[in-house]
Amino acid sequence: MQTVAKLMKVYVTRRIPQEGMKILSASSVCEVSLWDSDEPVPRAELLKGVQGTHGLLCMLSDKIDAELLDAAGPNLKVISTMSVGFDHLVLGEIKKRGIRVGYTPGVLTDATAELTVALLLATARRLPEAVEEVKNGGWTCWKPLMMCGYGLSGSTVGVIGLGRIGMAIARRLMPFGVKRLLYSGRTAKADATELNGEFVPLDTLLAESDFIVVSCSLAPETQGLCDKAFFSKMKKTAVFVNSSRGAVVNQEDLYEALTSGQIAAAGLDVTTPEPLPTNHPLLTLKNCVVLPHIGSATYSTRGIMAALSVQNLLGGIQGTEMPSELKF
Ligand code: NDP
Ligand code: DGY
């Protein structure tokens, strides 16, 4: 008698780049349900779609909590997120159920660092505002003080969270002539010595930095870290940049700091919520540059992230090695 192996079921919550889909289609071990859209799957659909599934490939905007895990049921062996951030995963519930987690560290470090540097320069040198002036006729002639901003040469840069991305940002900023690199976090980093990085208390970083870049992960200890007290310790001429997660910042306090002259400018690649409503007060400010969470958005990086997420998913459903498994 011939036995036919039953295919494992996997659910993919968004259209993903071809590099990932090709691996998934070529695999003979699973049957794929794909939410075939660039827009998020509605929660009710997701709860229905995951029923009985063995593997889930999700995005950072999908909340993976007890309700979802219950809806999936006991077959679920692996959650593979197409992101390095995993703050959308309720790890306690996932661990309780013995489910493995895959994520995408490292492969998006360069793209995210590059974007963060671009955002810092755009914010400090007022690029969106300057482009607008050209278009609206505000550019009447060369003026000594027109569109002046802040330069990196001779400056002090403070990085909050000198992890993979924080370090890659620092490496790219130093050649602009940065004089001092300060960083804060939970632990001093050995590779910071290559840049003469100084591990300092957060208050020192806030008081002495001309540019502050947030690149830590979102955790209970970092949620709302950048609040009224935080901004009040910064220099009035300092530029604040966040490419980690929106919830690290108290946006009401940031708005107040930007409008009262407490700080010079802010560049945000991440906000709360995402998307930021188009009538949000921060979007009315000339000294605030907001991007739609595009840190890792290069074609090549997104392709690699998709492929890695699928490999994690396939390893997880088969109970074999996952190339990037989160240990928690
Ligand atoms: P890493 O784990 O390498 O770095 C995280 C950093 O956060 C570490 O330096 C860590 O410091 C720091 N950190 C953690 N907890 C705290 C804390 N309580 N206080 C201060 N610092 C803390 O991750 P990556 O560099 O790869 O990614 C960082 C984050 O960037 C991701 O979690 C994600 O949220 C975000 N991201 C955003 C992207 C975008 O598109 N804008 C793209 C990719 C990532 P320590 O080592 O001392 O614990
Ligand atoms: C991540 O991976 O966590 C980013 O936010 C998106 O690439």
Q: What is the pLDDT of residue 51?
A: 98
Q: How does pLDDT run across 194-233, given as a tens digit for each residue?
A: 999 999 999 999 999 999 999 999 999 999 999 999 999 9
Q: How far away, in angstroms, is 169 Cα from ligand 2 center?
A: 15
Alpha carbon of 176 to ligand 2 centroid (Å)? 26
CA distance 254 to 268: 11
Q: Which ligand is nearest to the CA of 269?
A: 1
Closest residue to atom 3 of ligand 2, CA basis = 85
Burial profile 270-306: b = 16 or more Cβ within 10 angstroms, e = fewer:
bbeeeebeeebebeebebbbbbebebbebeebbbbbb
| pLDDT at res. 4 | 60
Q: Which atom of ligand 2 is nearest to the CA of 85?
A: 3
| Closest ligand 1 atom number to CA of residue 245 | 34
Query: So what's the pLDDT on residue 1?
Result: 56
Q: ipTM score here?
A: 0.98
Q: Is 107 in the pocket of ligand 1 (CB under 6 A)?
A: no
Strand ranges in 198-274 using DSSP code E only, listed in sequence order: 198-199, 211-214, 239-242, 265-268
Tell me if 244 CB under 6 Å of ligand 1: yes
Task: Write down the mean pLDDT value for the chain.
Answer: 97
Q: What is the pTM of this model?
A: 0.97
**How far, in Å, is the centroid of ligand 2 from the Cα of 302?**
10
How remote is the CA of residue 268 from the centroid of ligand 2, in Å?
Answer: 14
Residue carrying structure tokens 């703050």 = 87
Active site residue 293: yes
Residue nearest to atom 2 of ligand 2 (CA): 83
Indicate if ligand 1 lies below 6 Å from the C-beta of 219. yes
Segments of the chain scoring below 50 in pLDDT: none
Question: What's residue 2's pLDDT?
Answer: 59
